Amino acid sequence: MNIWKGKVLSEVPFGHVLIVKGKIKPNPNKICLDLAETSTEKDSSGVVLLKIEANFRENQIIRSMYHPGKGWSQEEISKNWKKETPKNPLVPGQSFIFRIAVLQKCFEIYVNDQLYGTFEHLECPNKIKYVIATGDFEKITQFHHRCLFPLIFPKSDLMQKEKEVFQSDVPKKYEMGTIVVLEGICRGPQNSEFSINFLCNETSKIFLKFLVQFERKTVIRTSQREQYKFNVEDEETCGEFPFKRGKAFRIAFGWGEKAVMIAVNGRFFTYFNFPFTPFAISTIKCCTNEVADFAVNGLEYHSDTSLLTRVEQLSMF
């Protein structure tokens, strides 16, 4: 069973939407999505405001919630709103997407961009801190926290010679003290490459491109200039090479006053001076070259002032 965890950067009030996209295994049993207060089921002190269980054997999507001291309750097993569509519209081996809109009295649930139903929330949605996916999926490719109104989606951009494998954005810009923690793994041949890119939401300009090249054993840090072009003179490559193909890693990016501090697997790696004013940076995209197989196993957003210490701590497994 796969487990994927995402931590939101800010509160999830009314009028916001949480989006998770991924790909289902060919012969699945079930896939679950939890909107939770804590990051693990072993911690019974936290509320699970909504649990969505797509059960392939029973061809149902089950909705429920968990409250400490009361256990699981409010279970709903019903047809979705459109009678002509299946009770479980997810298809084995295909991509899936859940969109959970937070309304004043309920969650509005969309499955594969079709309205599925609603679920009344009995706890304040601001308690949502984690979005956890478990079950028979191959990988998660998108994790977003956005505003519903106005409906703003980041502009898409084409990165030449690269394919996009993961994207996440938040409804507010990164401020000083923001820490983005990504857990991932890269498989593939010796010439595999992957990049972690931070973009300006309004212009799609890449503020920081963190490019890992296994064949050269090099990590390049750079940014786009005018006309969305990179300049070789701007590239920074100093530092060790802490990545191994086929081995999971955990990396933390901490937004300071004038630079981004970066730690890998619990150790400070380097810093990247701001090439320009980091206005409205709120989107992260992960890309690879044609031969690499890259997966994001978890993504967390934190906000802290004691930046360097926290960056190193949060990059530890």
Instruction: Give the pLDDT of residue 228.
Output: 78
What are the helix and strand counts (H, E) for the chain? 1, 21
Q: How far apart are CA 272 and CA 294, in angstroms?
A: 23
Q: Is the pLDDT of residue 192 over 70?
A: yes
The total of other beta-carbon atoms located within 10 Å of residue 216's CB is 12
Q: What is the CATH number of domain 2-147?
A: 2.60.120.200
Q: HSE of 117 in the Cβ direction (CA atoms, 13 Å)? A: 22
Q: What is the CATH number of domain 163-314?
A: 2.60.120.200
Instruction: Give the pLDDT of residue 157.
Output: 44
- Give the percent of the chain with pLDDT over 70: 90
Instruction: Give the pLDDT of residue 155.
Output: 43
Mean pLDDT of 41-67: 88
Residue 263: Cβ-neighbour burial (10 angstroms; 0-12, 13-18, 19+): buried
Mean pLDDT of the chain: 89
pLDDT digits (tens, 9 = 90+) for 140-191: 999 999 988 755 444 444 445 578 999 999 988 898 899 999 999 999 999 9
All residues at 6 or more sequence positions from 197 whose CB lies less than 8 Å from its CB, including other chains? 159, 206, 208, 209, 210, 284, 285, 286, 287
Q: Is the pLDDT of residue 42 over 80?
A: no
The answer to whether the 2-147 and 163-314 domains have the same CATH topology is yes
CA neighbor of 188 nearest in space, from 223, 153, 213, 211: 213
pLDDT digits (tens, 9 = 90+) for 26-35: 999 999 999 9
Mean pLDDT of 31-60: 88
| Per-domain boundaries in the chain | 2-147, 163-314
* Contact assessment for residue 248 and residue 183, using Cβ atoms and an 8 Å cutoff: yes
CA neighbor of 63 nearest in space, from 92, 97, 27, 88: 88
Give the pTM: 0.89
